Amino acid sequence: MPAPKKAFPLRIEPTLWEALERAAAADLRSVNAEIECLLREALQRRGVRIAPPEQRRRGRPPKDEKGEG
């Protein structure tokens, strides 16, 4: 199971938030995912190496062995 994500409260100007919402919608992402993506891109441009994000499984979870779920 992947490690839980770090929660971090962020104060942000309303106009910047609105721009993030538009960018996230255009990329079919949540605002949180958009911010993570932008931060990764910015760090990469600065030459900071970080591990790629863990790929999360998409779709419905498989049914359990009893056929329930």
In this structure, is residue 29 part of a structural domain? Answer: yes
* Those residues with Cβ within 8 angstroms of residue 35's Cβ, 6 or more apart along the chain or in another chain: 10, 20
- Containing structural domain, residue 25: 14-45
pLDDT for position 6: 87
In this structure, is residue 36 part of a structural domain? Answer: yes
In this structure, is residue 24 part of a structural domain? Answer: yes
- Kindly report whether the global pTM for this prediction surpasses the value 0.85: no
pLDDT tens, position by position, 18-69: 999 999 999 999 999 999 999 999 999 999 998 887 777 778 877 876 655 5
Domain count across the chain:
1
Q: Give yes or no for a contact between 48 and 55, defined as CB atoms under 8 angstroms apart.
A: no
In this structure, is residue 33 part of a structural domain? Answer: yes
**Choice among 4-8, 11-15, 16-20, 61-65 with the minimum mean pLDDT:** 61-65
